[in-house]
């Protein structure tokens, strides 16, 4: 119980309050969309949904990960900060292995392999003036396996994240119930 209170207080220090969000002038155009309580409260359904949305949107290419996570969190009414934060599992160290797994999963599901040699499957060297076209050419080279594998892997990670949070939350509740029962029995 004390640990849960400490964790909630820790997160509340960093999360904006509901009134703070309502008072932001630049959020006024969004009306009541950002005022749903599930977007900001920490409870099992909202947090599990936020993790699932973040895991799914983490594989969205480029800088659109947090934006897509925020939009999906608002639409699905799950915890918005958790969804945005969870997208950070993809970073410069993890993105290439995740894309390789997505490619292999897509190749396995579709039965199609790219004609590119394995040396070309590595992320291409991109120049700042032409990176969009170079990235697009690289993704086209990988073709159908990547197109099938990315959403499939994103869905698998989202489901796994949702289930993991729900199970961990339930285990924590059961442990606290048993501890409280033992304390009451000792009195």
C-alpha distances in Å from residue 73, one per residue of 6, 17, 130, 155: 25, 17, 32, 15
For residue 171, what pLDDT band results from cuts at 50, 70 and 90?
very high
Give the pLDDT confidence score for residue 120 in this predicted structure: 53
C-alpha distances in Å from residue 84, one per residue of 13, 52, 60, 64, 146: 17, 11, 12, 11, 24
Do 76 and 49 touch, CB atoms closer than 8 A? yes
Using CA atoms, how far apart are residues 111 and 107, in angstroms rounded to an integer? 5
Q: Which of 167, 171, 170, 162 is nearest to 79 (CA)?
A: 162
With vertex at residue 166, the alpha carbon angle to CA 160 and CA 56, rounded to the nearest 5 degrees, is 35
pLDDT at 9 over 70: no
pTM of the complete model:
0.74
Structure tokens at 50: 């936020």
Mean of the pLDDT values across residues 81-110? 88
Of residues 16 and 92, more confidently modeled: 92
For residue 4, what pLDDT band results from cuts at 50, 70 and 90?
low
Interval 26-70: pLDDT, tens: 666 666 677 777 777 788 899 999 999 999 999 987 778 889 998
Mean of the pLDDT values across residues 89-100? 87
pLDDT at 172 over 80: yes
Interval 107-165: pLDDT, tens: 888 887 755 554 455 555 656 666 667 666 766 676 778 888 999 999 999 999 999 99
């Amino acid at each position: 119980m004390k640990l849960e209170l400490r964790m909630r207080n820790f997160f509340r220090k960093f999360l904006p309050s509901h009134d703070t969000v309502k008072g932001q002038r630049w959020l006024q155009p969004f009306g009541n969309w950002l005022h749903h309580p599930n977007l900001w409260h920490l409870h099992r359904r909202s947090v599990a949904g936020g993790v699932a949305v973040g895991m799914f949107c983490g594989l969205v290419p480029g800088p659109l990960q947090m934006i897509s996570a925020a939009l999906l969190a608002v639409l699905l009414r799950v915890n918005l900060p958790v969804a945005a934060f969870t997208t950070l599992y993809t970073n410069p160290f993890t993105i290439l292995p995740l894309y390789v797994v997505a490619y292999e999963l897509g190749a396995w599901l579709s039965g199609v392999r790219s004609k590119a040699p394995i040396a070309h499957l590595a992320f291409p060297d991109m120049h700042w003036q032409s990176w969009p076209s170079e990235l697009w050419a690289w993704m086209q080279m990988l073709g159908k396996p990547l197109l099938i594998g990315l959403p499939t892997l994103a869905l698998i990670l989202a489901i796994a994240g949702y289930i993991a949070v729900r199970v961990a939350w339930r285990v924590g509740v059961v442990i606290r119930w048993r501890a409280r029962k033992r304390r009451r029995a000792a009195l």
